[in-house]
Structure 1
Amino acid sequence: MKLLSALLLLTAISAGTRSSAQPPSFLNLRLSSKVSLQTALIKINNKPATYTDLLKIADTGILKVEVYSKKAALEFVDKNEAKNGLVLVTLHKKHFPVYAQKKDGAAFVTNEKGDTMFCKNLVPPAINGDTSSAEWNRFLMQKLNPQAPADNSSPAGIYYVDIMFTVNTDGSIANLTVLEDPGYGTAAEVRKLMSQSPAWKTGLCDEMPVKFYQRQRITFVVTER
């Protein structure tokens, strides 16, 4: 039986990212009681790989991780290869542009005309002005269906939906873009979610409202036992 939980994570484009030297966070999750990531056959982008190779992947580069038990793995590989299960890792082929970044304590924001604005004090947009992400997570818990991948027959695994959208100066959102679709109904669920988004408090550059390109990551986790 598949039991599903959702990790509700906020990633703003202006925020710091995990170091590529750190192992991906999904390695801390037990996705299947039937498959050990350390002994299973691993393929990254359909090429044979090792557990050591997994340790070198940055979280931000992963689109999805699918975990198949011995029986299910026979659909993809032969009996000998499937004996310890199969882990298929798919990496992102695309990357979002960087519209805001911090350097030496200052921030630089790219506006809709492509001009770079220097901000001594940058306040990113947030639901109800809550930059701690608590309001964002509350919105996800109320509106997101975490069962989406399981409802669409996904295997155990982790599915990342990275999105970018514009927060206008009136707090409305527009131009929603899904970087890549990990499948199993996840991208469609996120689009549905964002259509119900409340108004945001606009981002500020030195106390001046600015149109802001916001990046978020929503993580669906399917566990099997």
Structure 2
Amino acid sequence: MLQDITGPDERAIAWDRIEQFIGYGRADAPVVFLGMEEGADNAKLLPDLLGRSFSGQYGEISRKGATQRTWSKMCHLMLRREGVECPTPAQRLAYQRERLGKHSGDTLVAELMPYPCQNATGWPKIYEPRFRTRREYLERMAPRRQAMLRDLFEAHPRELIVCYGKAHWGYYRGIFGAAPQSGQPIEIFDWRSTRVVMAPHFVSRSFNSAGQLDAFAATVLR
């Protein structure tokens, strides 16, 4: 019997559809978490992108799996928002599996940029036919995505939008037309009727302990 040695074809990637993807959860969620881009294993990008080529604008975070470091901090904040004083690791994991980024939940876990990547400096070759460099990608795609997210955020009442990853605050501010605040570890401002927070990345040392997470929640939710 002949062995099929053909593999997935990069030409089948639906780039336009991938570039419309927003994130995981409800489009009209009262709480939005916004990062720069999803992480990914660059060696597995082709099957990942082929899978995304059949997705809509909103997916759901899987109900399976272990604690994810970034999502766990989001779960802590959401539990505090609901009045849980000292969320435990088990409670955070349960929230991640059952409620975070779900169509029936209170969160939208979104990304500013649509292409998953292993880090924020490299540029996988699979993206080069679409954008030759990361710089070109950011220059051309970021304004489109900022406008898309601005329209989405304006379309529904929002209680809170948390933008995380300090290196990318400039891109996030562009969504809201916000000016930088001088020397603040966390920036907070009102946009329309929504509280917007610029925070460090959730895997940074700023969120190492439960005490730090509680202090952040107290500042953000006051």
TM > 0.5: no
TM-score interval for Structure 1 and Structure 2 normalised by the shorter chain:
under 0.3
Larger radius of gyration: 1
Which structure shows the higher helix fraction? 2
